[in-house]
Structure formats: structure tokens, C-alpha cells
Chain A
Amino acid sequence: MSIELITILMFGGLVLMLLLGMPVAFATGGVAVIFITTLWGPHALSVVALRISGQMYQYLLFAIPLFVFLACIMERCGIIEDMFTCFMEWSGPLRGGLAIAVILTGTLLAAVMGIIGAAVVTLGIIALPTMLERKYDQKFAMGAIMAGGTLGILIPPSILFIMYALVAAESCGKLFMGGILPGLVLSALFIIYSLIRCWRNPSLGPALSKEELAKLTWKKKFLDLRGIAPPLLLIFAIFGSILTGIASITEAAGIGAFLAMMIAAVKGRLNWKNVWDASTRGVTTTAMVMWTIFGAQAFVAFYIAQGGDKFVTNLIVGTGLGPYGILAIIMGILIFLGMFIDWVGIMYLCVPIFLPIIKICGFDPLWFGVVYNVNMQISFLSPPFGYALFYLKGVAPPDTKMEDIFKAALPFIGLQLIGLVIAIRFPWLCTWLPNVVFPSGVAAP
């Protein structure tokens, strides 16, 4: 069977199964099993079990349930509310100030959490009603919440970088450092956009009313700054222990999870139910991620063994475009896939195939890892399938239509695209910090 036919049949079959609503883990794995059996014979199927076995000793992946656990405890212990209140008091006098507070909360949370769900859900519960009460435009408010919350997976720690590090054999510590500046650039873009929009059209996001501002004394403002102490403590503990070499990334996640429980205890929110829920969410999220990896790995391993990677390389390089033209094609494919498939599936299906092309083009693989994550930011917001959209739908007022949430995301998707272009145009944004923190010769975790 020619590789062209295999490509069409494999991806066609996969798309069909995914459209029928089959979970990504089983659709990829099932299609792989059919092709391995027909082309290699049943005896070759042991490769599926062997692949799983190979994934079983990845200590780094242990950080995933720990970061989910940490985020879940954070979500329940009320400190996100304190953070938002604090930022709101300082930025509230500005037009669009609450949107800025949401984005700042999202940015700071992103440096503690490695996932996006907790931030979007909690901000949706806390900040959205607050903003609507103060006559914010609902779409604008929802867009800010989704965009701010999605930063969680770009600004380290990030479970996307952890998994990218394994797929691409890249240093996770370096990727973490690389994500910081692009994350801050995106955050700044969101803030500038909110300021400009609300400055030109105050009805989108009015400043806090005079009565409310009168109640806001300087003393209260300064006292409420305590609200950002717990996340700063967690950031200090997680990154302090990674950068000083005291702990591996997995251990740092464990320390963070332990501290989060201590903070919850101080806030009087540590109870069995919260701990139980957090550990259950940790195990189901990890199982979902890992089973998706099994299926996608079997799929890609077969495709590459059949020469699929060379086929795609020839197809893309054969267009005769320069490196940046090829990069544009890859980015376009990733953005398109991001509209439909979740990021775990995309990563395990695409990175093994695209990474060799990136190397042929002479790009820095570390830089591509960061750009890849910036690109994936869009996938969380782009309809019809984006995690942030569904997380927000779950907690938005019941009469909110899905179409409104889609529309709310659009301007921020535009900003993410600008951020992507910036990360490509100015590669030092992604590579300067990793190379300063981990100069060549220093082992990066």
C-alpha cells in the first residue's frame, strides 16, 4: 500500500471516528490496531503493549497529577478570590479595570498552576458576576476571563511543556524558562487591548463608581495586598526549588501541592472532601492524558514506520517555500487542528512528524517548543472545540449562549495570533531566558 493511500485512509478513518464522538484515546488506538493488523499482521500488535510499557517509567509525568491536585486545592481555598479583590482595588479606578484585574490574576495564577481549567472556572465563578454587576459588557468580560485563564499553560509550570519535553527530548526546565516572556507579552497585549477598548467605549467596562471608590481607603488597599502573598509563596517554593537544584520538577510539584494544602489549612478550607476531590480529579485527568498518549503513540509509531514522516516532510519541504513559509504552513495546520482536537492528541500526533522538518529548516528546537505552546494557546479559545469555552460555559449565567462565548473569544484569539507572530519575529523572547538561567554546561532539569 502506498504511503499516500495509507495517509488518506488513516487520517480519514481517524477524522470519521472523532466526528462520531469517539474519545481521542480509543479512536487513535483503534485505527492503529486495524492498520497494524492488516499491514504487518497480528503478531506485530505486541508493539502496542510495548509502547505502553515504555511510557510507564517516566518520572517527569508524575508532575501532571500533582499540578492538577495543586490547582484543585487552590480553586477551593479562596485565595483566587483574594487575589482578584486585591487587583480589582488597585486597577478598578481605571476604565476596564476589572478586566485588567482578571488578566493579572490569570497571569499570577499561571505561575502557580500548570493547567488552565481551574483559573477559567474560578474566575468565571468569582469575577464574571462581579463584572456584570458593574455593567461590564458580558462578551468582553468573558473574553478576558478565558484569555487570562488560558495563560496557565504557557507561563510555567505547565503540563504542556512537561509533555513536550518528553515527546521532543527537550529540557523541561529550559522550556519552562522559555515560556515566561511570551506569556508576559500575551498578558500585556490583553491588558493593552482592554485599556484601549474601554477607553474608547466606556460602556464596555466602566470604572468603579464614585461611591465604591469612596469606600476604598488606602489602608484597605494595602491590607488587601496580603491576598497575593500565598501565590507568591508558592511561586517562590516551586521555582526556588527547581532553579537551586534542590528538587526535580516532579518534586517541586509535590512541594507545591503540599504547600497548597498548608495554605488551605491556614484558610480553614482544608477538609477531606476537598482533598478527596482534588486527588480524584488528579487521577482522572492523568488517566485521560496518558490513555490519549497510548492511542496517539501507537498511531504515530505505525505511521512513521511506514514512512509517513518522510512523506509529510517531502510534501511540505517540496513546496519550495523558505523556512518561514514552511513554519507558516505548520502553524496553520496546528491552528486548524486546535479548533477540533484537544492539545494532548495534537502534540502526540504532530510533534514527532513536524519536529524533523523544523530541524531541517534550521530552527532552534527549544524555540519551536515555546512557539508551539503559544500556538496551542489559540486552541484553548478557538471554537468549536476549545477547553476554555466549555469551562466557562459550565459556570456562566445559565442563559449564556454558546455562540456568545464563541464571539467573546474571537478578539482575544486575534491577540494570541499577534503574540504568536511576535514570538516568531523575536526568537530571543523564547530563548534568551533559558540560556541565561541554564547556560551551556549547566544541566537543566
Chain B
Amino acid sequence: MKKKLKFLLSLIDATSEYTGKFYGIFLIVFLVGVITVEVIARYGFNRPIPGVHDAMTAYFGAYYLMAGAYTLLVGAHVRVDVLWMHFKPRGRAILDLITFPLFLLFMGVLVVYGWKFAMAATWSSSAGWILEFDHSFLKFPLFPLKWTIPIGGLLLLLQGIAKFVRDVHLVATRKALE
């Protein structure tokens, strides 16, 4: 049982981590490379690469939404460290357990309403597939982007639940769940 739980938690951690890093590394490929090439192409050779601007704008939303869970995993969501930081790990875990329901509520709303919102942009029983396309020459469909709200929210929710389980374990047994 404990073994299965540990496996599940490490699976959630790994999902968050690799999703975050996957989107993170795109920063270099997509931005540092593409922007430099695009500006040179536009001003150096007077031949702008069509669609780059729109593709980057569209991509940015996914970039930070999908990385929210990884940010939680590494503890980079900023807190007001007035009292919290003075506690020992177990005290911090107790405080985090107290605030967990509110986190659950916020993320639950994001997932449910984000899902409705994304669904409405993807398919309806009367109109079938509602495929909105980007206006640039690339013409990529927009619905995958809308799905990043519920999916990013879900990843963050799962990571929060993983932290909740660890906090419960720490509070109950005084030992960290490794």
C-alpha cells in the first residue's frame, strides 16, 4: 500500500517536472533561436518569416500554464514569509494543511470551468467540431491552447494533492515520506 502510494507520488512529481522542463527548454529553441533568426530575416534580408509572431504569442499561454505544477514542486510559488518560514517542517506542513481546502477550491474551479470553456471551443452537439484557426498563414487550430487551462490546472491540482499527502504523513508520523 505504502509502496503503491510512493510510486503514485513519484509519478505525479515526474509528470510535473518533465512537463515544466519540456515547456521551459522551449524558451531557448523557440525564443532565443526564433526571435534572433526572425529579426535578422526581417531587417537583415527584408524577408520576415510569416506567422512567427502569432505562433509565439499563442505558445506563451501554454508555457506558464503548464509549468505551474513544476513551480509548486520546486516551491517557487511566492509566499508571505512572515510567520511560515519560522516554523519547522512539521509546523509548515500543519499550516499548509489548514490552507489546503482553499487551494483545492480554486484549482477545482479552474479545472471544471476551464474544461467547460475548452470544450465549448472544441466540440458541440449542434455544430460538431468547432475548429477555430489562427489567422496567420500557419493556420494552426486554437483549441489545443484552450485545453492548457484545465490541463495545467489539473497538473497543479495533482501536485498540490501530492504535497497534501506528504504533509499528512509528516504531521501524523513525524517522518517525511521519502
Contacts and interface: CB of A to CB of B under 8 A. Distances in A.
Which DSSP category, helix, strand, loop or mixed, fits chain B's interface?
helix
- Which of B25, B98, B106, B112 has the most CB atoms of chain A within a 10 A radius of its CB? B106
Contacts of A111: none
B39 A283 contact: no
B15 interface: no
Interface in B52-92: 53, 56-58, 60-61, 63-65, 67-68, 70-72, 74, 76-85, 87, 92
Given A46-B113, A52-B110, A241-B39, A284 B67 contact: yes
Nearest to A55: B61
Contacts of B85: 21
Interface string A294-315: 0100000000000000000000
Given A258-B36, A283-B23, A24 B80 contact: yes
A390 B81 contact: yes
A55 B102 CA distance: 23
A21 B95 contact: yes
Interface in A65-86: 65-66, 69
A48 interface: yes
Interface stretch (B5-13, B27-35, B123-131, B169-177): B27-35
Contacts of B106: 26, 29-30, 32-33, 295
A77 B53 CA distance: 30
Nearest to B44: A246
Interface residues of A, number: 68
Interface string A7-40: 0000000000111111111110111111000000
A52 B156 CA distance: 15
Which DSSP category, helix, strand, loop or mixed, fits chain A's interface?
helix
Nearest to A340: B80
A254 interface: yes
Interface in A357-373: none
Given A58-B60, A254-B36, A33 B77 contact: no
Interface in B114-135: 114, 116-117
B24 interface: yes
B139 interface: no
Given A30-B103, A52-B149, A56-B60, A251 B35 contact: yes
B27 A66 contact: yes
Given A57-B58, A279-B27, A280-B24, A287 B39 contact: no
A61 interface: yes
6 contacts: A26-B107, A30-B103, A57-B61, A254-B39, A285-B76, A290-B65
Interface of A: 17-27, 29-34, 45-46, 48-50, 52-53, 55-59, 61-62, 65-66, 69, 241, 246-247, 250-251, 254-255, 257-258, 261, 275-276, 279-280, 282-292, 295, 340-342, 344-345, 384-385, 390
